[in-house]
Structure 1
Amino acid sequence: MHTTLLATLLVVCDRLAVMYAEEQAEDKIQESLGLGARPDVDIAGFPFVTQVVGQNIDQVDLTMPDVAADKVSLAEVHARAEDIRIVGDLPTSIQGAVVERMDGDVLLSFDDLNRELGASQIKFTNAGPGDVRIAGSLPVAERTVSVQAEARVERRGDRAVSTTVEDIRIVVPGLFTYRPGKDPARSGLYLHPEAAARISHEAARAKDLLALPSVVERLGIPRSRIDQALRDEQELSRLTGSPRFLQQLSEVNLVDLVVDHPWLLEKAGIDPDLVGSLLKMKPPELSDRLSLSFELPKSMPGNIRLRDIVVKSEGIRADLTGTGLTLGGS
């Protein structure tokens, strides 16, 4: 019985020593990395006292919440350190530690992104293993417009994640869709069917539109039929009232035409100031407003590296790896 009691006391003392050492390690890590929130340290292995005597810890699991990473915060940083050499006297005078090997992962959660970048009411969701879907709204010319885009997530160097924002679409429901960019096959200003119908259903508006050679050329309608429609109201009504004409008009890129003929917008019920403000917004500017790139904090040891990047339902995860890490005054 005395042997059992003694063994129990040794186990309790060992666990108390572990708890004390974990608290000391948490304080030291929070201080050395400049963390806003206290990390959680879990020292593995038994007996702990034996490891103390040898000043070498077999394994430590570390969780750090809300780590600042550029303009966003990493929701979680998990790390498992192995073969840790303690610098100083355990358990009361720890100066630092040298970690021979470390593996872990970081999470940039969509919930945090939606909250931290939510001033523009933008939402980020999973669009595949390496892609993020972006949807929400932006204020433009005292109006709120819808924005849709996709971001390709990639590793930049060993310590940063970058996003390439593509296929940006700014949508004003019932009026138009604007795709910024220089590629004529992917960019431009396109009327929605409702806006095209407003032009085609009023003879005066339709005639003004068909009087522009550049529009007629893009519509792909024979010149002879256009001339006939401009002379004959019934033919004009048949032409512009057909579903085929509305589809053709909705497929015409008006981005350069509206610069020379701003009245086109007014006839479609579109505010020219709104379109003018959108045309001034360049793709790099829009991409920066939608970017969710991040970089590991400079306070983290320099030889911690990011590896595989993957987009999951909860956010962007990246693997961490490192060797020969020094913490504290080691």
Structure 2
Amino acid sequence: MTYDSTVDSRPRRRTGRKLLTGLLVLVVLLLIVAVVADRVGANYAEREIANRVAAQIENQGATASRPEVDVAGVPFLTQVAAGNYEDIGIVVRDLSGQQDGKAVRMPLVDITARDVRAPLSTLMNGQGDIVAGSVAGEATLEYASVAALIGRDGVVLAEKDGKLAVRAPLSAAGQTLNVTGTADVTIEGELVRIRFQELTAEGLESVPFAQNLVNAYARQISIDLQLPPLPLDLKLQKVTPRPEGLVVTAQASEVPLNTTA
């Protein structure tokens, strides 16, 4: 007598497929949980840094919109575990201070903190320092705001060939002269110094002592700008005339990010 020894393996294959499908679903769910946890952690860090920067601005007597913070690098939790972070971008809008009762406003301050060291223990218990190895920033001061601070009617400022150019009316001997020229713009401590040089005026030859008047006018419209204090210990480095305004660059090193001083 002969017996058929063939065994039907189809149920076993179906079971294997079910196990594989379940495993894939589990992996996908774990990835989703990891991504969500990663984003929650990043959002927490961004919120805390924004709070610190906002407190610094307030303590320095300035005002601004709430800082926007972006912690770069994925995954964030890997950076947490290592205690070292990639670039952290901070944008402060409408940073404003006062000079002689007039508002000095910088519509955009763009800051990047690099080599941020934040040990996991510090994040967990709040003890210790979170330090950025270097911080760099750019702040824009609009020409209309500078002209308003100069306080002379008709002064128009703009960038021309990489320099700060001026055009303004000057009344002399019953005539109105159209004065034009450029300025030297430098940094001295916390001040932006604007000194107008070599101003000229059309029809100058027809007005007695007109050049003396133009030189005096150049001194009158020269100004020292006290900018709103920048957060994160940023120190002014240079100022560059650009089409959008005077762009001030600032730097700092070894900056604590978890203090409000």
Give the structure-1-normalised TM-score.
Answer: 0.55
Q: Aligned AA for 2:90?
A: L
Q: How does 1:191-230 map to 2 (within 5 A)?
A: 191=206
Structure 2 CA distance for partners of 1:49 and 1:138, relative to 1, 3 Å: farther
Secondary structure in 1 matching 2:130:
strand
Assess if the C-alpha contact under 8 Å between 2:140 and 2:245 holds in 1: yes
Q: Which runs of 5+ in 1 are unaligned?
A: 178-189, 192-252, 257-277
Decide which of 44, 50, 56 is 2:84's aligned counterpart. 56
Matched residues in 2 for 1:36 and 1:150: separation?
34
**Corresponding residue of 2:9:** none
1:196 — aligned with what? none
1:1-330 residue pairs with structure 2 within 5 A? 1-34=25-58, 35-37=62-64, 38-68=66-96, 71=99, 72-86=104-118, 89-90=122-123, 97-114=130-147, 120-129=153-162, 131-137=163-169, 145=176, 148-157=179-188, 159-168=190-199, 177=204, 190-191=205-206, 254-255=208-209, 283=216, 286-287=217-218, 289-291=220-222, 293-298=224-229, 300-302=231-233, 304-307=235-238, 309-329=239-259
TM-score for both structures, normalised by structure 2:
0.68
Tell me which of the two structures has the higher relative contact order, counting C-alpha pairs closer than 8 angstroms and 6 or more residues apart.
Answer: 1
Shift of 1:22: 1.2
Quote the Cα distance in structure 1 between the aligned partners of 2:251 and 2:184: 19
Which ranges in structure 2 are unaligned for 5 or more consecutive residues? 1-24
- Deviation track 1:244-266 (CA, whole Å, cap 9, x = no partner) reads xxxxxxxxx6239xxxxxxxxxx
- The amino acid of 2:117's aligned partner reads R
Cα distance change on mapping 1:9 and 1:153 into 2, 3 Å: farther
Alpha-carbon distance between aligned partners in 2 of 1:28 and 1:167, rounded to the nearest angstrom: 46
Equivalent in the alignment of 1:182: none
Report which of the two has the higher share of helix. 1
Q: How far 1:282 moved relative to its partner?
A: 7.3
Contact 1:29 1:328 in 2 (8 A): no
Structure 1 vs Structure 2 CA RMSD:
3.8
Q: Which amino acid aligns with 2:115?
A: D
- The aligned amino acid for 2:130 is A
| Alpha-carbon distance in 2 for matches of 1:148, 1:319 | 30
Question: Does the CA contact (< 8 Å) of 2:138 and 2:247 recur in 1?
Answer: yes
Do 2:91 and 2:109's aligned partners in 1 also have CA atoms closer than 8 Å?
A: yes
Residue 306 of structure 1 aligns to which amino acid in structure 2?
Q
Q: Percent identity?
A: 19
Aligned length: 226
Q: What is the identity, as a one-letter code, of the residue corresponding to 1:14?
A: D
Kept in 2, the 8 Å contact 1:28–1:96? The answer is no
Counterpart-to-counterpart distance in 1, 2:155 and 2:127? 45
Q: 1:152 to 1:138 in 2, by over 3 A?
A: closer
For the residue of structure 2 that corresponds to 1:120, the secondary structure is coil
String of CA shifts for 1:184-241, please: whole Å, max 9, x gaps.
Answer: xxxxxx42xxxxxxxxxxxxxxxxxxxxxxxxxxxxxxxxxxxxxxxxxxxxxxxxxx
Rounded to whole Å, the distance in 2 between the matches of 1:139 and 1:18 is 60
